[in-house]
Amino acid sequence: MNRSIALLAPLCLGLGLTLPVLAQEDEFQTVITPAFSPVTWERLINAEDEPENWMMYSGTLDSQRYSRLDQIDKSNVAELEMKWSYQIPVIDRAETVPTVVDGIMFITEAPSNLTAVDARTGRVYWRYDHELPDDLRICCGRNNRGVAILGETLFMSTLDAHLVAIDARTGNVLWDTEVADYEAGYSKTAAPLIVKDKVVTGIAGGEFGIRGFIDAYDPATGELEWRTYAIPGPGEPGNDSWSGDSWKTGGAATWITGSYDPDLNLIYWGTGNPGPDWNGDVRLGDNLYSDSALALDGDTGEIAWHFQFTPHDVHDYDSIQVPILADIEYQGSTRKVMMWANRNAFFYTIDRATGEFLEGDAYASQTWAQGLDPTGRPIRVPGMAPTYEGILVSPPIVGATNWYSPGYSQQTGLFYVTSFDGEQEFFKRDEDYEEGERFTGGGGRYNQPMDAFHSSIRAINPATAQIEWEFPIMPRSSAGITTTAGGIVFTGSADGYFFALDAATGEELWHISLGARVHAAPMTYAVDGKQFVTIASGNVVYTFGLKDD
DSSP assignment letter at 387: B
- CA dist 52 and 35 (Å) reads 16
Contact criterion met (CB below 8 Å) for 416 and 459: yes
Q: Who's near 316: CB < 8 A, 6+ residues apart?
A: 273, 277, 278, 397, 399, 444
- CA dist 465 and 460 (Å) reads 6
**Amino acid at the residue 529:** G
Other C-beta atoms closer than 10 Å to the C-beta of 284 total: 13
Total length of the chain = 549
Residue 281 bears catalytic tag = no
Among 416, 420, 546, 400, which residue's Cα sits nearest to residue 490? 416
Contact criterion met (CB below 8 Å) for 117 and 86: yes
Give strand pairing partners of 545: 81, 532
Cβ burial of 319 (10 Å; 0-12, 13-18, 19+) is: buried
Q: Which of 286, 316, 318, 421 is catalytic?
A: 316
Longest dimension (CA), the chain: 69
Q: Who's near 251: CB < 8 A, 6+ residues apart?
A: 206, 207, 209, 210, 211, 212, 231, 272, 273, 274, 275, 276, 277, 290
DSSP string covering 18-78: EEPPBPPGGG----PPPP---B-HHHHHTGGG-TT-B-STTSSTT---EE---SS-TTTGG
Among 36, 169, 80, 143, which residue's Cα sits nearest to residue 539? 143
Instruction: Cite the active site residues.
Output: 316
